[in-house]
């Protein structure tokens, strides 16, 4: 007998067409038994890893059989929803060769990589250095007598540490090392290095490689073989240095090509834009679970023996949950825009136009930092919104959190990335008087005089529903915070001392700039053709929730920079409360639009039909501890305590 749909009444409240909203979100996940994951948290590390290998192999089999495109294959791998060596092969190894290799290197290595005849990883981070790439210690010394590079790990801290896929699977790696010719150090460059035999998978001579051990969580990221790697004078041919940006000749001469070194930013832009897109998906999953459960859970408020109040009807729950729902949509739209940005940058690179690279690099660095930090915090907030049951592994939230939080560190520590954005903003401000117009996401700075003088015209709460009013406030706030930092920096005789001293303020200015980008791209999305008036109306409500929640959260910034008055801030908060009431009837349908199946969500709390308590009860009995009525160890350790035989028991 099919379970009752406890969310059916919530879905009948919806004020828009679900299928039209699904088109906007464009999410789709299908059930597939071979990819079951409900037992992951109960597997040993070895069994979990073998399970990952099995799923990766089956996914590759289906990709070949169905002749999936690269985009479709990526969707299938994301659906498997289990961190695996394939993530780094497709997400880092191949893009690094494509972005930094020559045409000849493309012809040699990419066909093998695309067919997975070789499996690669990205070996940059070391035991002693991560964010400071220029401080890496691994060396690649050219030997002109043999026309080879000698890759070596001179210290313990030069051991490569953390690369996913490296520990047990990868046959090759793009290794970043200090290029040395003669006695000259040319800085860090990339090299393609074979790590393991293609016959028996054993490490090649001079290579020490293994897994770095268990990580945070149960299943979570422990399905990934993050590895350690040391080189003992390993020799590779000269042509395995990635040479699109710079080369070493047969005679050992270092030659810089006409292609700017900034070309490596192209790979970073690609990777970071995918991370932003992934942030929206992870946040949507957490919000879907918390929203569905909040509609089922009832606590307090019973009148005359009637039902208790749905948790989702409490304003405290709405004020914590609905901004996260709005953020999921906001990150989705800025992720779509970043895909366009990457395509634009790629086109320009092919035409040897590198003019937009610095801005694109700063933009993606900042958005990667902001969206991943917000998403990591939001997943934990969703767990707390689910009360005690959110702490269970089968709620799906603890494992989602454990899998997701590494994004705050990998591909650039979030604080370090924001400081890079701040440097870019300070450089942009310094050039305002030179006649050079800011471009892209900093174009608003070209209206410096207006942004310094404009005042918010809000007189009533509903004035905050005007996109132009919201955008003006966010632009003025971001610009004035950047100008304030620039003025304070100018007081220091040594700019680096100033940057260090003012780094907390610079971080806040960078965040303000990134939040402006997301708000502006959301508003731009609303100006496009959107199917269904009801859908567009809901997206407008969520856009206003996102913007006004940020304004409320950072009210101090808006007031102290004189962008708005305290009274206008109070009106914004009044309007925000009204918006929560407008989100409420559509909450369940808004998360249904993500189109995530129960299998993909992996949560008893977030199941589509809302039959939470029955599923919680059934899942409890699946735990291995319940395989026996009397637990193993009872006679040895519990019985002596109960019978007061501790003194004579052999514990």
Q: Which of 126, 399, 411, 508 is an active site residue? A: 411
Structure tokens at 225: 């073989």
**How many other C-beta atoms are found inside a 10 Å radius of the C-beta of residue 523?**
18
Distance CA(266)–CA(273), nearest Å, equals 11
Alpha-helix residue ranges (DSSP H) falling in 455-565: 467-489, 495-501, 503-526, 533-553, 555-560
Examine the residue annotation and report whether 336 is marked as an active-site residue of this protein.
no
- Residue owning tokens 């953390």: 162
270 contact partners, CB below 8 Å, separation of at least 6: 95, 99, 342
Instruction: Give the N- to C-terminal CA distance of the chain in Å, as an integer.
Output: 50
Q: What are phi and psi of 247, to 5 degrees?
A: -130, 165
Nearest to 216 by CA among 408, 425, 501, 12: 408
Report the length, in residues, of the chain.
Answer: 651
The torsion defined by the Cα of 97, 98, 101 and 103, in degrees rounded to 10, comes to: 130
* DSSP class of 175: E
CA–CA dist 228, 212 (Å, integer): 6
| Binding-site sequence positions | 125, 164
Task: Give the three-class secondary structure for 137.
Answer: coil
Question: What is the distance between the alpha carbons of residues 651 and 637, in angstroms, rounded to a whole number?
Answer: 7
Strand partners, 126: 160
Q: In this structure, are residues 90 and 227 in contact, taking their beta carbons and an 8 Å threshold?
A: no
Find tokens 């290579």 and name the residue: 207
HSE of 605, CA atoms in CB hemisphere, 13 A: 28
CA distance to 59, 156, 388, 598, per residue, from 595 (Å): 21, 48, 26, 10
The contacts of residue 100 (CB under 8 Å, 6+ apart) are 190, 242, 244, 245, 263, 264, 267
Residue 425, Cβ neighbours under 10 Å: how many? 27
* Token digits of residue 19: 């299928």
Q: What is the DSSP string of 317-336?
A: HHHHHHHHHHHHHHHHHHHH
CA distance 236 to 149: 5
CA angle, residues 81, 87, 92, in degrees to nearest 5:
150
Of 439, 412, 416, nearest to 427 by C-alpha is: 439
Q: Residues marked as binding for FAD? A: 125, 164
The phi, psi pair for 203, rounded to 5°, reads: -60, 140
Place of tokens 């971001």: 478
C-alpha R_g of the chain: 27
Q: Is residue 144 exposed (0-12), middle (13-18) or buried (19+ Cβ within 10 Å)?
A: middle
Largest pairwise CA distance in the chain? 92
Distance CA 550, CA 567 (A): 17
Dihedral sign, Cα of residue 637, residue 643, residue 647, residue 650: negative
In this structure, the strands spanning 160-161 and 172-181 are unpaired
Name residues whose C-beta falls within 8 Å of residue 634's C-beta, 6 or more positions apart in sequence.
Answer: none
**Catalytic residue ranges:** 411
């Amino acid at each position: 007998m099919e379970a009752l749909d406890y969310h059916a009444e919530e879905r009948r409240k919806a004020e828009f067409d679900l299928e039209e909203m699904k088109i906007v979100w464009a999410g789709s996940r299908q059930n597939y038994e071979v990819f079951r994951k409900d037992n992951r948290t109960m597997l040993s590390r070895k069994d979990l890893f073998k399970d990952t290998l099995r799923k990766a192999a089956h996914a590759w089999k289906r990709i070949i059989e169905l002749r999936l495109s690269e985009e479709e294959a990526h969707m299938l791998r994301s659906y498997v929803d289990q961190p695996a060596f394939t993530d780094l092969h497709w997400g880092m190894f191949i893009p690094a060769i494509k972005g930094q290799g020559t045409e000849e290197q493309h012809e040699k290595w990419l066909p093998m990589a695309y067919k997975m005849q070789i499996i690669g990883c990205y070996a940059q981070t070391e035991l002693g250095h991560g964010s400071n790439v220029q401080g890496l210690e691994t060396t690649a010394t050219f030997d002109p007598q043999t026309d080879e590079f000698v890759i070596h790990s001179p210290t313990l801290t030069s051991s490569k540490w953390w690369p996913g896929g490296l520990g047990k699977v990868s046959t090759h790696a793009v290794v970043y090392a200090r290029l040395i010719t003669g006695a000259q150090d040319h800085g860090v460059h990339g090299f393609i290095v074979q790590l393991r035999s293609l016959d028996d998978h054993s490490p090649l001579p001079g290579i020490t490689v293994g897994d770095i051990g268990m990580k945070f969580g149960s299943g979570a990221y422990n399905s990934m073989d993050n590895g350690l790697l040391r080189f003992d004078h390993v020799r590779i041919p000269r042509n395995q240095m990635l040479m699109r940006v710079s080369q070493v000749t047969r005679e050992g001469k270092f030659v810089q090509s006409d292609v700017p070194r900034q070309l490596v930013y192209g790979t970073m832009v690609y990777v970071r834009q995918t991370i932003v897109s992934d942030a929206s998906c992870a946040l949507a999953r957490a919000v879907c679970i918390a929203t569905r459960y909040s509609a089922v859970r009832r606590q307090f408020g019973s009148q005359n023996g009637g039902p208790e109040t749905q948790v989702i009807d409490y304003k405290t729950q709405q004020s914590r949950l609905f901004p996260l729902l709005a953020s999921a949509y906001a990150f989705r739209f800025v992720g779509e825009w970043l895909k366009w940005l990457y395509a634009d940058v790629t086109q320009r690179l092919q035409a040897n136009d590198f003019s937009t690279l610095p801005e694109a690099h700063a933009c993606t660095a900042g958005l990667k930092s902001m969206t991943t930090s917000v998403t990591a915090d939001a997943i934990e907030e969703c767990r707390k919104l689910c009360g005690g049951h959110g702490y269970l592994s089968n709620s799906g939230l603890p494992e989602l959190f454990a899998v997701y939080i590494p994004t705050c560190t990998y591909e650039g520590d979030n604080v370090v990335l924001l400081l890079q954005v701040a440097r870019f903003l300070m450089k942009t401000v310094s050039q305002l008087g030179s006649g050079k117009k800011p471009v892209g996401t900093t174009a608003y700075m070209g209206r410096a005089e207006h942004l310094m003088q404009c005042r918010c015209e809000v007189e009533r709460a509903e004035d905050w529903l005007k996109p132009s009013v919201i955008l003006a406030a966010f632009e003025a706030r971001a610009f004035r915070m950047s100008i304030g930092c620039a003025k304070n920096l100018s007081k220091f005789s040594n700019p680096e001392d100033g940057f260090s001293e003012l780094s907390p303020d610079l971080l806040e200015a960078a965040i303000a700039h990134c939040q402006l980008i997301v708000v502006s791209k959301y508003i731009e999305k609303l100006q496009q053709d959107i199917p269904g008036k009801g859908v567009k109306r809901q997206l407008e409500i969520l856009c206003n929730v996102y913007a006004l929640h940020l304004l409320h959260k950072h009210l101090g910034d808006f007031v102290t920079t004189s962008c708005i008055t305290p009274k206008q801030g109070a009106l914004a908060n009044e309007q925000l409360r009204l918006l929560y009431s407008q989100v409420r009837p559509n909450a369940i349908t808004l998360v249904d639009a993500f189109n995530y199946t129960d299998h993909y969500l992996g949560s008893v709390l977030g199941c589509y039909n809302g039959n939470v308590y029955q599923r919680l009860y059934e899942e409890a009995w699946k735990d291995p501890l319940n395989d026996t009525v009397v637990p193993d160890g009872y006679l040895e350790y519990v019985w002596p305590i109960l019978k007061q035989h501790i003194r004579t028991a052999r514990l």
